[in-house]
Structure 1
Amino acid sequence: MDVEIGRGKKARQAYGFDDIAIVPSRRTRDPQDVDIGWKLGPHLLELPLLASAMDGVVSPKTAIALGKLGGLGVLNLEGIYTRYENPDAELERIAKLPKDTATLTPQKVRDHYEIALEAGLDVLVIQGTVVSAEHVSSNGQALNLKEFIASLPIPTLVGGCASYQTALHLMRTGAEGVLVGVGPGHACTTRGVLGVGVPQATAISDAAAARVQHLLETGKYVNVIADGGMRTGGDISKAVACGADAVMVGSPLARAKEAPGRGFHWGMATFHPTLPRGARVQVDQTASLEEIVVGPARENDGTLNLMGALRTSMATCGYESIHDFQKAEIMLAPSIKTEGKSLQQAQKIGMG
């Protein structure tokens, strides 16, 4: 239902992960009987988890390590690892930078994709703060996404987006998946700098509805990937229950001891030369990548064993697969994280 902002403007109500809760069904299930795998083009992946294409999160080594665990690491082709012969030295320099010093070159997918294909690339991700299928530009030739994707021999993911219409148009380009999320990341300031964004629970649900429409139109299923705004296993579970097939996360993995950021995390737009839209945030590197992704968890705040939490959430609610869990009942529950938690909050433990 629309809300009247003023006489000339109405708006929808939108919700984030902290506003909602997953409702248990009449059935429960053994976690060992839950399948959290998913399909991306010809690839069958054990974990519905992608690591964000951020220099402080994914290096070639961490991408390989995450792949061995069953996830997918995305390397930034416009980042440090493709621009410097000694990326470790640059990462050390960034870790020592004052907060207001940095630079970043814009992404140019046409300049790099052929080299990446020759090197054996399996999946190409075309990503920006907001990516549309109808980019208009008088400054050079705009990338025709549909033609470009059709020319590629590998699956393509494209985004970000945050609305039904944009997601549907991106799906019509032939992409295997769309990234959903504009500004929800822990290091992103796009929502403050530009005033642009949609809370993730609503954005994912809208994109999932677009997926249904596209399936009716073409018979092709396109993956919805929730990109950003998730810190805990509970957040990831809510993203899937809202309709996501997989999630892309940055800051949770930047906390890994193996992460290349040296205790810092920043986004691709953080160092923009004229309008930076991100912050270089400090993170505690207190756990291994394996502990963060598949456990075992040594803390009770939901930041470790993210995939185990998803599996257990699905089992608790009685769902067998990712597609089944997307049908879970969702309830508006603004008190879900605070009800009965006063002692935890006072002592700053658990959910406090």
Structure 2
Amino acid sequence: MLDRIAYLGITFDDVLLEPGYSEVVPKDVDVRTSLTRHIPLNIPVLSSPMDTVTESELAIALAQEGGIGIIHKNLSIAAQTREVDKVKRSENGVISDPVTLPPDETVQTARKLMEQHHISGVPITVNGQLKGILTRRDLRFLTDNMQKIAEVMTKDNLVTAKENTTLEEAERILTENKVEKLLLVDDHYRLKGLITIKDIDKMVNFPNACKDARGRLRVGAAVGVMDFERADSLIEAGVDVLVVDSAHGHSKNVIATVRELKKRYRIDVIAGNIATGEGAKALADAGADAVKAGIGPGSICTTRVVSGVGVPQLSAIASAAKALEGSNIPVIADGGIRYSGDMTKALAAGAHTVMIGGLFAGLAESPGQTILYKGRTFKAYRGMGSLGAMMAGSGDRYQQKDAAATGNGKLVPEGVEGRV
């Protein structure tokens, strides 16, 4: 037996970092890093694609601080796509494709659209030509929802600017005219974009936000093995990165999925999970732009107990980092982060970023159910390998999709449900 032991593995509680001489003070520390080969982060943190951790609200809050959220896939394709769209529309430098309505639509339609997209105004156009704007101020005292927009919209003295207006110029125009929305038009008065004072304020309040080239918050989303229909929809919504989410990433189907995604789309792909250098190298060779290291380290994961499979987390991170040394493919440490010091150890072991589940599950922004228990408030938290999560759609992550979908066969949970 002893001759079959590969090496001694270590995890977070087994080590401490030895202090040394430094000339860097805490306020000068730079924690900017790379999520993938092409996506930078201002803080080395991303949220786990779990159904009690990450939907649009948490993804927005995390991206504003410089990290990125990964929307879970225990949703229908349409619902997951909507969550991505909420993040992409939540904040913009310049909104290049604002939601619009024609003047012959009803006020009722406008109200529904504003509620759906969480916006306070809609430009009114005809064949792209700007005709006016409808804001909550116009609707405040209206009682007849069947009135036409043309009858109530603001159409005179519209505050507009050229489409190449800078944000600094836009702020000055908005302030001078005491309005919240600046309509951008071309020489033929066709609507080309929209700038809001709210987005300018957010840029001031969240200077380190993680944004794409168009000034929108970045967001990722999980997809299953060979789930290209979901990938199509998410990419159309503007998702920045896809995460091929599997409990065992060093496998034929995951590798094939990564290859096909990179062949079909021009988008960064994160793949995992792996716990060895060989697994990391296999995913990198398939085209992955980052790999996730970690099998079973999470507080609500029982994979190691149920299957007897796993590698202590620090060893898994170090193995992946060593295998990818010299490449520009980052390693994501996924799971087992209980304290801030664990993040530091993960980065020291070779990770570029850490993926967090449990520490985020208790936040107000997480989608887990709020529970009042013995006078204290908790949030529901469950592993994606728990029975409830697998019945809700995550069975494919553990190669148990058919049993979860049809009810034929027995599910073998690899996670638990609890509260935090």
Identical aligned residues as a percent = 34
Contact kept, 8 Å, 2:71 with 2:80, in 1: the verdict is no
Alignment of 1:168-247 (within 5 A): 168-212=281-325, 215=326, 220-247=327-354
Equivalent residue number for residue 171 of structure 2: none
TM-score by length of 1: 0.66
Higher strand content, 1 or 2: 2
Q: How far apart, in 2, do the equivalents of 1:228 and 1:158 lie?
A: 15
Q: How far apart, in 2, do the equivalents of 1:85 and 1:131 lie?
A: 24
SS in 2 for 1:221: coil
- Quick one: which of 17, 26, 32 aligns to 1:22? 17
- Quick one: which of 259, 276, 281 aligns to 2:413? 276
Equivalent residue number for residue 45 of structure 2: 49
Which structure would you say has the larger RCO, counting Cα contacts within 8 Å and 6 or more residues apart? Answer: 1
Q: How far apart, in 2, do the equivalents of 1:169 and 1:236 lie?
A: 26
Amino acid at match of 1:156: V
Q: How far apart, in 1, do the equivalents of 2:348 and 2:311 lie?
A: 17
Larger radius of gyration: 2
- Quick one: which of 363, 386, 398 aligns to 1:256? 363
Equivalent residue number for residue 335 of structure 1: none
| Pairwise CA distance, 1:84 | 9.2
| Pairwise CA distance, 1:81 | 8.3
Q: How far apart, in 1, do the equivalents of 2:350 and 2:81 lie?
A: 41
Contact kept, 8 Å, 1:78 with 1:106, in 2: the verdict is no
Unpaired runs of 5+ residues, structure 2, are: 84-222, 370-378, 391-403, 405-410
Unpaired runs of 5+ residues, structure 1, are: 88-104, 137-141, 284-352
Q: How far apart, in 2, do the equivalents of 1:13 and 1:86 lie?
A: 45
Q: C-alpha deviations, 1:149-200, integer Å up to 9, x for none?
A: 2332111100000001111111111211100000111111111111111010
TM-score by length of 2: 0.56
Equivalent residue number for residue 250 of structure 2: 132
- Quick one: which of 112, 122, 134 aligns to 2:230? 112
Contact kept, 8 Å, 1:78 with 1:108, in 2: the verdict is no
- Quick one: which of 140, 146, 150 aligns to 2:263? 150
Contact kept, 8 Å, 1:155 with 1:175, in 2: the verdict is yes
C-alpha change, 1:31 and 1:109, in structure 2 (3 Å) is farther
Equivalent residue number for residue 54 of structure 2: 58
Number of paired residues? 250
Contact kept, 8 Å, 1:59 with 1:81, in 2: the verdict is no
Q: How far apart, in 2, do the equivalents of 1:198 and 1:116 lie?
A: 32
C-alpha change, 1:27 and 1:37, in structure 2 (3 Å) is same
Q: How far apart, in 2, do the equivalents of 1:84 and 1:119 lie?
A: 10
Q: How far apart, in 2, do the equivalents of 1:261 and 1:241 lie?
A: 32
Over aligned residue pairs, what C-alpha RMSD do you find? 2.5
SS in 2 for 1:184: coil
